Amino acid sequence: MADFENLQLANDNGVLTVTINRAEKLNALNIATIEELREAFQDIYDNPDVKSVILTGAGEKAFVAGADISEISELNEMNGRKFSENGQEVFEMIEKCHKPVLAAVNGFALGGGCELAMACHMRVATPNAKFGQPEVNLGIIPGYGGTQRLTQLIGKGKALELMMTADFIDAEEAKSLGLVNHIAESHDELMTLANAILSKINSKAPLAIGMVIDSVNAYYAGEENGYQTEANSFAACCKSEDFKEGTKAFLEKRAAEFKGE
């Protein structure tokens, strides 16, 4: 994979850790970092050496503390729309990736950082994590999909409250609302947990994992019939070599060896 200025990448047995490495800026998302995420995920889609992804931020203070305010302050109506649509496009790449993407949230996940975490398929956090969409403090609204994904994840009433008050919630409340899957007591334990979850998923049939993602995403896509997507995906699984291997291994009482075919 390419060398990046704002991202660090490390592959451990198929689990690729992508670290947003702007700790001095609390890992704020500037335009350059968004474009590096686009390039990284373009490679992740097709790279056979990557089975799953951990997305995290450098340091102990922040996952991503928001977007770069110095860039946002220069926006007008015309380039503001482009700014929003560009971020939405990159985050949709993450959401639709057939390889599971897990956000390991250490510290602040605010504004664009919260939106980035929500674009991932799952989220784990440390106790010092803080989530929020405080854009109304700047006279704007979430622009990278936050109005949609926060509502999907925690429900309309609470999502509206958080976006209109600009309040933050801690890891425990985020977990109680369904925004966070698990809480780990330290950063080291967070990364161990994230790796353990993805290593377990990586032992399953890759084609089926990707189709689970497709089918769940279809629930939220107004132009799709989620049940039909599920049926089509189920049928596609049934013609795969992984299906033959999985059922044969079960009947033979052995571990399956999936090849993603």
pTM: 0.95
Q: So which residues are the catalytic ones?
A: 115, 135
Q: In the β-sheet with 182-183, what is the strand arrangement from edge to edge?
A: 7-12, 15-20, 52-57, 101-105, 122-125, 182-183
pLDDT at 1: 65
Query: Which residues are bridge partners to 24 per DSSP?
Result: none
pLDDT at 8: 97
pLDDT at 67: 85
pLDDT at 223: 81
Residue 99 gets which letter from DSSP? Answer: S
Contacts for 161-167: CB closer than 8 Å, 24+ residues apart: 162/132, 162/133, 163/133, 163/135, 163/136, 164/136, 166/132, 166/133, 166/134, 166/135, 166/136, 166/137, 167/132
pLDDT at 157: 98
Burial class (CB in 10 A: 0-12, 13-18, 19+), 261: exposed
Question: What pLDDT tens digit does each residue of the chain (261 aa) get?
Answer: 678 999 999 999 999 999 999 999 999 999 999 999 999 999 999 999 999 999 999 998 999 999 888 899 999 998 999 999 999 999 999 999 999 999 999 999 999 999 999 999 999 999 999 999 999 999 999 999 999 999 999 999 999 999 999 999 999 999 999 999 999 999 999 999 999 999 999 999 999 999 999 999 999 987 889 999 999 999 999 999 999 999 999 999 999 999 988
